[in-house]
């Protein structure tokens, strides 16, 4: 298993989230609304600007109807 520095990890996670969001047919706005968070937060997560909570990641996986581990498979 390859370990990435924090910045690279957040960017890779964000790109993977964007991929799954689009595969499931969600816009950033739709995902944010379903999660009850600001659209800017989704944007910042996808760009690797912020380190979101594990609770948010759990909620994202539920809304997207994907296994949580898929978000970390990059």
**What value does the mean pLDDT take over residues 13-39?**
98
- Residues 6+ away with beta carbon under 8 Å from 65: 24
Mean pLDDT of 6-25: 97
What pLDDT does residue 47 have?
A: 98
- Separation of alpha carbons 60 and 21, rounded Å: 9
Where b means 16+ CB within 10 Å and e means fewer, 23-48 reads eeebebeebbeebebeeebbbbbbeb
Domains of the chain: 6-66 (1.10.260.40)
């Amino acid at each position: 298993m390859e370990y990435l520095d924090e910045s690279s990890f957040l960017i890779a996670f964000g790109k993977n989230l964007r991929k799954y969001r689009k595969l499931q047919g969600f816009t950033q706005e739709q995902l944010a609304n379903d999660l009850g968070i600001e659209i800017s937060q989704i944007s910042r997560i996808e760009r690797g600007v912020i380190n979101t909570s594990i609770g948010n990641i759990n909620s994202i996986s539920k809304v997207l109807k994907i296994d949580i581990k898929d978000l970390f498979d990059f």
